[in-house]
Amino acid sequence: MEYLADGLAAALHLLLHLDDATRAAIAATLLSTGYAMTAAMLLGLPAGFALGYARFPGRRTLRLISDTLLAFPTVLIGLLVYAFITYRGPLGEWGLLFTLPGMAIGQAVLALPIVVSWTAQAVEGLDPRCRETLLTLGARPLQVARLTLWECRYAIGMVCVTAFGRVITEVGIAMMLGGNIRYATRTMTTAIALETSKGEFAQGIALGLVLLLMAFGVNLLLAFFRRRGRA
């Protein structure tokens, strides 16, 4: 057990004097997660809102597909995106493989069903009296939609924070599509996996602690949205 204590002590030292490699891993993690979440929210929020709010033929089928994709294995996502962005793939000429944007595409694919399905669920779960109240106050269809979205804001915030938490802790996609290149695509999770395999616990634990701190922050946000959403 001594190596764990040593590792923890070294991790705290590393955290206090962040070296270039640790800093680069944190930056790569935040950047790729940021790109992925931006894309997932831009595509997923309108799609999820439409699925939860509008009534159109095929809505249930789309909802079923989106719910099923929640259980999509991350290695399969990595494999599929790899097939598209590899040099022989349809997007090969864009040179995305082993880059942060390439990784972010995979992570966005991971986050998208979460954002779509849970946004739809948040909208469906809204008190039906909300829509009726808006209509009885003379709201026009677009105003009803806009205010419905506003009423779901805390639930949707919770969806985004949950998806962020899922993406930032993901390792398989980052490893397959990023290649774990030091100072480039090495994220905190892939660095932890690598350092652990090398027996370098200090570096691994230091990065793990940073990840834990981020998870704590994410959970604080989740708790905030949950509390506000219940009101």
Partner 1 sequence: MSPLYACRDLVQRYEGREVLRLPELTVDEGEVLALTGPNGCGKSTLLRLLAFLERPASGRLHYAGGEDPRQEVTLLLQDAYLLRASVFANVTLGLRLRRQRQGLHDIYEECMRAVGFAEPGELAGRDRRALSGGERQRVALAARLALRPRVLLLDEPTSSVDARSGRAIVEAVRACVGRGTTVICATHDQALMTALAAREVCLGRRWDESDPAGAASSSDGGGGRA
Phi and psi at 19, nearest 5°, equal: -85, 170
Q: Which of residues 75-134 bind partner 1 (CB under 8 A)?
A: 127, 129-130, 132-134
Instruction: Give the Cα separation of 230 and 219 in Å (integer).
Output: 16
Nearer to partner 1, 42 or 137 (CB): 137
Q: Are 74 and 121 in contact (CB under 8 A)?
A: no
C-alpha 229, offset from chain centre: 21
Residue 142 CB, nearest approach to partner 1 (Å): 11
Interface with partner 1: number of residues (CB under 8 A) = 19
Residue 223 CB, nearest approach to partner 1 (Å): 17
Pair of tokens at residue 7: 């590792």
| Residue at token pair 């939609």 | 145
Residue 129 CB, nearest approach to partner 1 (Å): 4
**x-marked contacts with partner 1 along 129-168 as a string, rule CB under 8 A:** xx-xxxxxxxxx--x---x---x-xx--------------
Nearer to partner 1, 60 or 88 (CB): 60
Phi and psi at 98, nearest 5°, equal: 60, 35
User: Is residue 226 close enough to count as binding partner 1 by CB under 8 A?
Assistant: no
Closest CA to 85 of 186, 168, 176, 165: 176
Residue 152 CB, nearest approach to partner 1 (Å): 9
> For residue 12, which amino acid is it?
L
Reduced to 3 states (helix: H, G, I; strand: E, B; else coil), residue 186 is coil
Nearer to partner 1, 9 or 137 (CB): 137
Q: What are the Cα distances from residue 187, in Å, to 43, 91, 154, 216, 225?
A: 24, 23, 29, 18, 28
Residue 131 CB, nearest approach to partner 1 (Å): 9
Q: Which residues bind partner 1 (CB under 8 A)?
A: 127, 129-130, 132-140, 143, 147, 151, 153-154, 228, 231
